[in-house]
Structures are given as structure tokens and as C-alpha cells.
Structure 1
Amino acid sequence: MRVFDVVVFDILGTMVDEPGGLRAAVREAVPDCEPGRAERLLGVWQGHVAREQRRMAEGGRAYADSATLDAEAARRVAQLAGVRDESAIARLATASERLHPWDDSAAGLTALARHVPVMGLSHASRTTLLRLNAHAGLRWHQLLSADDARAHKPAPEVYRLALDAAGCPPERALMVAAHAWDLRGAQRVGMRTAYVHRPVGDPPRAEDRFDHCFEGLAGVVRLLGRDG
């Protein structure tokens, strides 16, 4: 008997290198940008998105999708860097559509799909996800955006999107992510959890108790292949 009815993946950071892609886009938009400055500008971008998502969670701002937040962050970075070329700013704003997958992402996803339905669940907007997954070569049985819940992870309603779509109880859904905060959100709605190490992830704390911890997707494939 199969242990899980569905495997749900975070995408940004877990399946694609989000910080690396944003960093490359910043350096493209700001010619001759030395590494330290590029890191500071990347921090401005990430800080803006995190701050605005927190404001939404606290009720201080109406819901805005990731494409809107990326456009705001790109404009902020451009202002700080002195970039005035509107076409360069517009390209920077869509950097999340061109993130590169990790080496094991596409093959691991394909292998898992032979054993169990695989679903992507991201706070990226629908349009961003469409273009990102085409660019990265990721193929899903189903792809869900937090847009449908009008909230960002780790809000419980985002995880319930996946549970409702899969039509299964939470204990039969496995959430896979490189971010411990994401897995904690999944745990709060009763999902099982698997942490996958990525260089840009949020590692577990000593008190975290996830069901599985793996160095890469090969571990998830072995788990599901055995369970299947």
C-alpha cells in the first residue's frame, strides 16, 4: 500500500536556485557591479519581498501577488543602483521567470512521477510559475499558486489548496521543501514533511522534528519508490 497519495513540492529555492537567479539578474541590470554591491542589492530585493509578505500576513496590506512584489523590488534596486533604462528594469522585474533548476530537480521530479502524483505549490504568481517551469524544464501533475488562496506561505490556507486538490487527508500528503519555515507551516495543517538540503535553504533548528531529511531529491525518490 502506498504511504502517500501526493507529494507536494515547494519550488523557489527547493527546485530552482532563486537567490542565484536574482543575483545574476541584478548583475545583468547593473553593469560592472562588484560582488559585494550585488549582494547588498540582492538583500534589498529579498528584504522588500519578506517585509511586504509579513505586512500582508499581519493585515497591514491587501494581498499582492509575487509578480507585483518583484516589480516593486526591482524598481527599488534600480533606484539604488542608478538604473534608469526602463527596459532593463522591466527585465529585472521578471527575473523569477528565468531561475535555473538544481542539477537533480528535473530528473528527480520525473522519477517521482512514476510512483506518486507530484504537485508544485508556490507563492509565485500563476504567470511566473508558467514561465519559470517552462524555462527550468519542470513537469508537474498539478501546479498551484498561492494566488488561489490570496495569501503567502506559511499561511495555512495555502497548504490546504494542495490538500483540497489532492482530495486526501493531510497525513497522506508529503510536503518537500528546503525551507524549515515552510515545513513548519505544512506541519500545522497535519501534512507529513521532508526537508531537502539546498545551499540557499533554511535549515532545520534543533527543535524541528520533520519526518524525513535528505541531502537531495534522490532520497525522496528512494523513499517513494520503496513505499510504492
Structure 2
Amino acid sequence: MSRIITITSGKGGVGKTTVTANIGISLALKGYKVCLIDADFGLRNLDIPLGLSNRIILDISDYLQKLCSFNHIVVKHRTLKNLHLVPGSKKQVTEVEFLSFVEMLQEIDSLYDFILIDSPSGLESGFFYAINGADEVIIVATPDKTALQDADRVIGILESQNKQPLSLLVNGYKHNQEVDNILQLLNINILGAIPSDADIIAANNKGNPIALNPSLQSGVMFRKIASNLSKHHYNQRIDLPSYNQNFFTHRNLKLSF
């Protein structure tokens, strides 16, 4: 059986898709069979950082409408054959199709070690179906006040359902103190933190997620996060690169989460 993990947030623009792509890449590099599902219905974009846009013929909507089998929609990564993508649909889906989404997860459960779901933002139907089908949930938040407020709301809703383990990934921090402040605000297990880094954006635009490059600090950090995830390690001591005029220094600050 696979570990089905939904990656979500309270609002859009916090980097869910980037996090999904890089954690998926990192797990595949460790030898796991990984499936990434773009469940952000109507806003397909997980294929872009993975560099797989030109390989898409059919998408998740075709499967949910019973027009094809699961094998027809899966796109294999160019170099990591153990990494598969289920492309999202640019069309909105119906309630019946949402039910088929949960059935799909049950169908493919035995095929992979990890299934990562890139969830829709907000609290509409797609969000709840992406959550309900998962064993675990990772909440992505940036230091932005509105992102933290929305993340706190999502955490409250999910904790009230008391279904899956929750963890937090801080994305786009610019100062180490921001991470510490977030941990004091949100009472939740921390999986890791990723700095604001122009190299991440450049890698996405090239279709080569930064986790593929172990010579770049953010790539290493994504790999460490995936390693912690695979071992169920949370609240670990994490080296946060310190900033000096928006550039990394070689000094690491250790925060005990």
C-alpha cells in the first residue's frame, strides 16, 4: 500500500505545486515509486515544473469521465522512470467526477510507495475530496500574514475532523526569525522550511525542479525534507541558511523545531 499525502494550503500562490514537484522528485531519487496527481482542477500546472507539458495527451478528467483507463493518462518522467504524473484538467469537474477521484486513489493504492496530491486552494469541493482520500496532509504556508491566517483556518478545520496527521512546510522565508515566528503561531508538526530563492523559480521555468541539483542549497533542503517525510521524522533540527543582503551566507543557524 502507498502513503497518500495531500499537499495543500489556505490560499493560492504559496508554492504548493513547487513543493509537490520537488518532494516527488526527491522521493523518486531515493528509489521510491512515486505518483504525483494534479488535483487543482481547472488550473493544471504541475506538468510545468516537471517539464512534461508536451507529453500530455489525456488528463485526469478523461479518466474520471470513464473515457480511458488509468494507464492512458499517466505520464512518465523523462529520466526518473519511477516517477509518474497524473496531469490535471483545465476543466472544472462535476460532483460525480469527484467521487471517481476517490475511487481512483483506491485503484492505484497498490502501485506506488507514495502518492502526492497537489490540492486545490481554498475550501471548495475539490479541496475536501483531495483531503478525504489522503492518509496524511502537508500544509504549505509562507510568512505572508494572509497565508498564515488561511493556513491556521485550514489547520483548525482539519484538526476538527481528526482524520489525518498534519504537518507544516514553510516556504519562501527571507529571514530565519520568520520561521521561528510561524512555529510559535501555528501549533503543528514542522516538516521543514524552504527559503525564498530565485534558483527555484528558474529551475521550474526550465522544467527541471531544483531537487535534481544537489549543488544548490534549496535542492539539498528539499531532499532532506523528503528524507524526513519517508522516515516519519518531524520537528527535527534543521539547518536554515542565513541571509545577507538577499544572498546565502555559509553560516547555518540551527533551530530546534
TM-score interval for Structure 1 and Structure 2 normalised by the shorter chain? 0.3 to 0.5
TM-score (norm. length: structure 1): 0.40
Higher share of residues assigned helix = 1
